Structure 1
Amino acid sequence: MNITFYLFLTLILLGAELLYLRLARHFSIIDVPNERSSHTSLTTIRGGGILFWVAALGVFIYTDYGYSSFFLGLTLAAAISFLDDLHSVPNRYRIGIQFIAVSLLLRETGVFPNENWMLLVALVVGVGILNAYNFMDGINGITAFYSLVTVGTIWYWQSQTAVEPDDSLFAFMTIALLIFTYFNARRQAVCFAGDVGSVSIAFVILYALLQLINQQQTYLPVLLLAVYGVDSVLTIGHRLCLGENIFRAHRLHLFQLLVHRLQWPHLWVSALYAGVQLGINGLVLLLVDSPLTTQLVAAVLVLSALVITYVLAKRQIMSRC
């Protein structure tokens, strides 16, 4: 790939996003605020993150129809998510399709356990990651910034470890993310990622993480989702303690409390989450060649620090407001 190719790719993906925005306005595919929403506008377009699937389609064609199982799984996950953006889809259908999609992803990466119980655990964790990433898409810029940090880190890591790294997936996705960021990371967003966007980019990141885990023979890459993971898991635990339906809209994520209770600007909170994750990613890269014991100790310390910060910050915010 050269500069000319990158420019051509940017124009193609930008054109695809502008076309979607035009069609979305025509068909009134807009985001309707609910209990979870952090905006009040009735004109913001929903589903702008469909560009991530378009970028994956470009990779599929560019690589002579490589990554076939991955692309099929992504297409299934993106399709059911887009339908959910248009009209609410029952959870059993949405999650059922996601299980099939993740099984295809596991097949693509070669991480397909022989034991039924291990396969079930892998599928549950994979589907959980997709939905957690989707739940975290609640304010302007958070999916854009966080995904740029995560995809960028994985791209760099892959380029340092592979003899002949295949940059196509990361190049296409990074450009798509930059274009989406332009339309989303502003005070009044032009579009939101929608379920189709957040689930699609989560699917891509999950695929890339599994590749890294296979190559490096370590679970350290899981820390590249540490900030999202801690917020998601602890918030779900909090809601279960309150007896709430975890699939219903809410405003109990820490980032939502920072925005709604403390009135912090969306982009500040999004940058904070991405910045903390970037710092953790830098530590992960430094520990790649460290002994397993050192990696485990570091992982425990990082996760413990995030958990303590989450609990203390949330307790203080909720007691003050």
Structure 2
Amino acid sequence: MIETLLENFTPENNITIWLIAAFALAFFIAYQTFPTILYVAKEKHLMDEPDSRSVHSNKTPTLGGIGIFVGLIVVMTIVGAFLNTKVLLLVMGGLTILFFLGLKDDLTVLSASKKLMGQLLAAGLLIVFTNTRIIGFSMILDIDVLPYWISVGFTLFVYILIINAYNLIDGVDGLAGTVAFSISGVFVYLFVNSSELSLATIAIALCGCLLAFLRLNFSNKNKIFMGDTGSMIVGFLLAFFTISFINMAQLDKTSAYFKASPALALALLFYPLIDTFRVFFIRVVIHKTSPFKADKNHLHHRFIRSGYSHLMTTILISSINVVIIGIAFNLLHLNLNTQIIFLLLYGSVLYLLPFLFKKITKN
């Protein structure tokens, strides 16, 4: 009976059931994994020690990425027989490379150069063996198709930018997980509409793992952080989703996103990208220091200093990012350059509003 069911079952004809099952399985596996991780971390004293940059005061386990990784790998392994095995195997390979690099960084210390090399290797595997890359600029600044090697180099740069930009926003309870959850949810919608069920399955599995993680990340009693393990693999997947979406749109002239995919991708990742560029500008131009020198100038740090709680900071930033994405969907009919200019304007204004509101209420 089971054999007959498996032979006749096709995910494409049962998309809703398929995605719900992938989400539920990822959530269940991650949910069951986290208690063991917490126990081992506490028994072996694998905890994050608060320092001058910390916004928390208690020792906290930083191995949340392990649960996210296990949930993802189990789902991709089980569904691999039904979907695009090549893509799934390469994604799993990239995730595994970054998992062990992040784990070493969480447990001991890993140099920035080694992390960069690992990120380049993981991204390079997907670019070379799947030819999933940003083909051109879709006429941004009148630049269309890029030469192959420039396209590969630019795509690698985008991978590194997104992975590290995402890592930088992991500084407030629930923020990185909630932002990634909402972005991944939008990618599920985009991939389903593009009939890319393999990518939609990975995205929905990530949502399931993140939801299980957020339960503990928001907890006061059994709190756990994502750590570099989690931020690197989640950032890597967000980069992969972004580049895959842009690539699909650029190759399909009938797609509704053919000329608008870069603007929509920027909207999805607006918060981590704008925060990264803002922090780098402050460090280099204002403080005359290295752009990689850690500080407390991130937007989420400013929210905390303005009097917002961790929970309210996460709710505000995540909600604003969702509003930005919603506006971007409604501006797809405009010229791409116009969309990007508007995005920079309304995105920046929206993130200033909570500070103006706080200032008005204080006065």
Identify whether the pair has TM-score above 0.5, normalized to the shorter chain.
Answer: yes
Per-residue Cα deviation, 1:208-231 (whole angstroms, up to 9, x for no partner):
112211222231323200122111
Q: Does 1:137 align with 2:170?
A: yes
Return 272-281 or 182-191, whichever deviates more. Answer: 182-191
Query: Does the 8 Å CA contact 2:175/2:314 hold for their aligned counterparts?
Result: yes
Select the structure of larger CA radius of gyration: 2
Specify the code of the residue in structure 1 equivalent to 2:120. F
- Which residue of 2 is the match for residue 272 of structure 1? 316
Query: Does the 8 Å CA contact 1:109/1:207 hold for their aligned counterparts?
Result: no
Query: Does the 8 Å CA contact 1:140/1:267 hold for their aligned counterparts?
Result: yes
Structure 2: how far apart are the matches of 1:276 and 1:174? 19
- Which residue of 2 is the match for residue 156 of structure 1? 189
Specify the code of the residue in structure 2 equivalent to 1:49. G
SS in 2 for 1:49: helix
Percent identity between the two aligned chains:
22
Deviation at 1:86, TM superposition (A): 1.1
Q: Does 1:229 align with 2:273?
A: yes
Specify the code of the residue in structure 2 equivalent to 1:230. I
Point out where structure 2 has 5 or more consecutive residues left out of the alignment: 1-16, 136-146, 251-260
Deviation at 1:312, TM superposition (A): 9.3
Query: Does the 8 Å CA contact 2:64/2:224 hold for their aligned counterparts?
Result: yes
Structure 2: how far apart are the matches of 1:24 and 1:179? 18
Q: Does 1:75 align with 2:73?
A: no
- Which residue of 2 is the match for residue 38 of structure 1? 55
Deviation at 1:94, TM superposition (A): 1.2
Structure 1: how far apart are the matches of 2:22 and 2:113? 42
Query: Does the 8 Å CA contact 1:141/1:186 hold for their aligned counterparts?
Result: no
Specify the code of the residue in structure 1 equivalent to 2:95. L
Per-residue Cα deviation, 1:238-288 (whole angstroms, up to 9, x for no partner):
1112122333321001211221x2231011111111111111222233344
- CA RMSD, 1 decimal: 2.8
Query: Does the 8 Å CA contact 2:320/2:351 hold for their aligned counterparts?
Result: no
Q: Does 1:104 align with 2:128?
A: no
Q: Does 1:251 align with 2:291?
A: no
Specify the code of the residue in structure 1 equivalent to 2:104. L
- Which residue of 1 is the match for residue 347 of structure 2? 306
Calculate the TM-score normalised by the size of structure 2: 0.78
Per-residue Cα deviation, 1:282-310 (whole angstroms, up to 9, x for no partner):
2233344x25x1x4312211112334566
Structure 2: how far apart are the matches of 1:315 and 1:86? 41
Deviation at 1:101, TM superposition (A): 1.2
Aligned residues: 314
Structure 1: how far apart are the matches of 2:39 and 2:237? 26
- Which residue of 2 is the match for residue 49 of structure 1? 65
Calculate the TM-score normalised by the size of structure 1: 0.87
Structure 2: how far apart are the matches of 1:164 and 1:57? 17
Query: Does the 8 Å CA contact 1:133/1:202 hold for their aligned counterparts?
Result: yes
One of 146, 151, 169 as aligned partner of 2:202: 169
Query: Does the 8 Å CA contact 1:69/1:107 hold for their aligned counterparts?
Result: no
Structure 2: how far apart are the matches of 1:254 and 1:316? 15
- Which residue of 2 is the match for residue 23 of structure 1? 40
Structure 2: how far apart are the matches of 1:86 and 1:202? 19
- Which residue of 1 is the match for residue 214 of structure 2? 181
SS in 1 for 2:99: helix
Query: Does the 8 Å CA contact 2:26/2:74 hold for their aligned counterparts?
Result: no
Query: Does the 8 Å CA contact 1:35/1:251 hold for their aligned counterparts?
Result: no
